[in-house]
């Protein structure tokens, strides 16, 4: 049965072998609380890299037993991120997580050619977000909202495959992928439409496997069946999309923030394309969002 709620991801990963999460510069309360919850739920084992005194002080404030974690001392945030990647590369961790450091420093550590987590020079890193919103009947798996500003055709193909892989990990047997543009009409002068049409044809011919892919589709017809019926659109994806591919980061970021800040949505998020899934949420995100992100990473972790 496919997973349709974020809470179900947590229950699902409890049935899988435990993975070890390594948190980079885990000096903040939200990260420590989320990781501790994941540990106590049996989702992961955890290593926290950061300032040990600070971590133990936060644990005392939150009434958390610091013995729940392996703590690695590193007070410098850049060195902590590098150390966390080193632990992963040594085979001592399966999931990376961002703590109290900025996204650019976190990504710099992952992208480091000598000590980072890139599987090869041609690898594509992307960001996958799984959103639960009150007005939709299932989870929305979408990308890219945080890493690739203006993906080219090859990057969009990579993102499409990442979305499909995530959907499969959430037990969605044949995910429906909507390639978004401002319109469902095929307009040659609009690059988003052209790219969507090419990727749709690639899917038809088996170059993209494991999903039903269609585009270009406007957001309304991708997720609203009434709009599909009014516009008399024929599509196996329209009105029931599992996955949304955004044409650029602005579209994706606005969608993600509108859902969380205006529509009461909740989410889990991660970076994919590295050697391991890398939890990437905002430093200001709640402990619950970070817990869902950990569970998501554990679900896709091989």
Model pLDDT for residues 229-277, shown as the tens digit of each residue: 999 999 999 999 999 999 999 999 999 999 988 999 999 999 999 999 9
* pLDDT (0 to 100) of residue 1: 79
Q: Cβ distance 273 to 131 under 8 Å?
A: no
6-121 and 126-261 agree in CATH topology: yes
Look over the chain and give the mean of its residue pLDDT values, rounded to a whole number: 95
Taking the domain 126-261, which CATH number applies?
A: 3.40.718.10
Model pLDDT for residues 4-52, shown as the tens digit of each residue: 999 999 999 999 999 999 999 999 998 999 999 999 999 999 999 999 9
Task: Please state, in angstroms and rounded to a whole number, the distance separating the CA atoms of residues 228 and 162.
Answer: 26
Q: Where are the extended beta strands (E) located within the chain?
A: 19-24, 44-50, 70-73, 95-98, 126-132, 140-143, 176-180, 212-217, 243-245, 266-272, 278-279
Q: Cβ distance 194 to 25 under 8 Å?
A: no
> Taking 90 as the threshold, does the pLDDT of residue 282 lie above it?
no
Structure token digits, residue 255? 């969608």
Domain map of the chain by residue range? 6-121, 126-261
> Taking 90 as the threshold, does the pLDDT of residue 120 lie above it?
no
* pLDDT (0 to 100) of residue 211: 98
For residue 158, name the pLDDT band (cuts at 50, 70, 90): very high
> Taking 90 as the threshold, does the pLDDT of residue 68 lie above it?
yes
* pLDDT (0 to 100) of residue 284: 65
Task: Please state, in angstroms and rounded to a whole number, the distance separating the CA atoms of residues 119 and 112.
Answer: 11
* pLDDT (0 to 100) of residue 138: 97
Q: Which CATH superfamily is domain 6-121 in?
A: Isopropylmalate Dehydrogenase (3.40.718.10)
Task: Please state, in angstroms and rounded to a whole number, the distance separating the CA atoms of residues 176 and 181.
Answer: 16
* pLDDT (0 to 100) of residue 122: 87
* pLDDT (0 to 100) of residue 302: 81
Task: Please state, in angstroms and rounded to a whole number, the distance separating the CA atoms of residues 44 and 196.
Answer: 38
Angle between helices 52-62 and 29-40 (to 10 degrees): 70
Q: Which residue shows structure tokens 């041609």?
A: 122
């Amino acid at each position: 049965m496919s997973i349709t709620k974020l809470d179900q991801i947590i229950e699902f990963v409890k049935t899988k072998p435990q993975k070890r999460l390594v948190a980079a510069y885990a000096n903040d309360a939200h990260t420590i609380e989320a990781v501790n919850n994941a540990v106590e739920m049996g989702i992961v084992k955890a290593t926290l890299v950061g300032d040990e005194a600070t971590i133990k002080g936060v644990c005392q404030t939150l009434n958390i037993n610091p013995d729940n974690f392996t703590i690695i001392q590193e007070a410098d945030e850049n060195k902590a991120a590098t150390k966390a990647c080193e632990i992963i590369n040594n085979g001592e961790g399966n999931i990376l997580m961002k703590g109290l450091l900025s996204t650019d420093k976190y990504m710099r550590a992952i992208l480091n050619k000598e000590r980072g987590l890139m599987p090869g020079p041609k690898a594509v890193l992307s960001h996958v977000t799984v959103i639960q919103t009150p007005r939709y009947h299932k989870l929305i798996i979408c990308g890219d909202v945080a890493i690739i500003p203006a993906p080219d055709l090859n990057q969009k193909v990579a993102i499409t495959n990442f979305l499909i892989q995530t959907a499969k990990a959430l037990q969605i047997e044949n995910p429906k992928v909507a390639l978004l543009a401002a319109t469902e009409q095929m307009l040659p002068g609009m690059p988003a439409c052209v790219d969507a049409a090419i990727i749709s044809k690639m899917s038809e011919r088996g170059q993209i496997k494991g999903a039903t892919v269609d585009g270009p589709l406007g957001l309304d017809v991708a997720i609203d069946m009434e709009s599909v019926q009014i516009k008399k659109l024929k599509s196996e994806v329209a009105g029931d999309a599992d996955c949304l591919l955004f044409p650029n980061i602005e579209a994706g970021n606005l969608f993600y923030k509108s859902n969380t800040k205006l529509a009461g949505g909740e989410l889990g998020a991660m970076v994919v394309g590295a050697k391991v899934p890398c939890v990437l949420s905002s430093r200001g995100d709640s402990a619950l969002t970070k817990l869902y992100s950990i569970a998501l990473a554990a679900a896709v972790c091989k």
